[in-house]
Structure 1
Amino acid sequence: MKLTPVIASFALFSAAPSALAIPVCYMDMYGVRTDLSYMCNERDVAAQAREEQAIAVLNQQRLSNLYTYGVRAVGNNIEGTLRNSGTSPISNITLTIRAQQEGRSEEFREVTIDQVGGRTEADFVATFNHSPQSWSIESIEIQ
């Protein structure tokens, strides 16, 4: 086994300027570069920002394909259907539902849906302590 440090004063791993599109802290072994940034407590901030932005854009696109319909009160429940009008499945969806019950303060419930396939739908039910007088879907989030 041969370790080849690149810009380093230590034998096992190297640190390089973060302006390059390479891991900040890495090890070269047999021509394979291994990212060791978790050991150096450093990270390419620009790459992390690009990754977070790409995820946010993707989730925004996916959210635009989700909508609810047929939402109604049935007993102590708010029931409805979540539709995915896109072609790709969407996973880990959380709906936050607000209900104002007769003579009582408002309550919130979260309903999690594991997955809704492309161009399909899933039913949801949020159970409250009392019969809701008014309600709304406060948010739909993708985790």
Structure 2
Amino acid sequence: MHSTDYVNTFIMVAADSAAASASVPPQRATPSVAERTFRMIAEAPYRYTSDDVIFTVWADRQDLPEASRAAARETFFAKGQPCLRSSDLGKRYGWGIHCDAHGRVALAAVGSAEYDQLAAGRAPDGTAVTVTRAMRSSRR
């Protein structure tokens, strides 16, 4: 089974991101992947893992009934899936993603003190974190 989870890692905004500050993805009649991802993480920081978020967003968009989600999750992760490094939150909307020691995720707004501390390699509790970047939007 494949996983998208990171532990003790901070995903900074992409190097080619134009976001000078963090913004909430716009609300739409049919919520975008970025909007659903943002809402899930922002409403419950450090509650869900990356796998939880990615699968739940996918399942919600598919209108998958709760009763069939356990089996669908196994099938979904039977092959590799894009991780949160490819999310528009870090590429377009100015949000860094912190993954704690248990792989649970939270958001940090670019330009905030929390973001700067995580980007320097330190979690809010003082533990060291590996720093990486969201994927670029364009190839170079």
Q: TM-score range by the shorter chain?
A: under 0.3
Q: Going by fraction, where is strand more abundant, 1 or 2?
A: 1
Larger Rg: 1
Q: Going by fraction, where is helix more abundant, 1 or 2?
A: 2
TM-score (norm 2): 0.23
Relative CO higher for 1 or 2, CA cutoff 8 Å, sep ≥ 6? 2
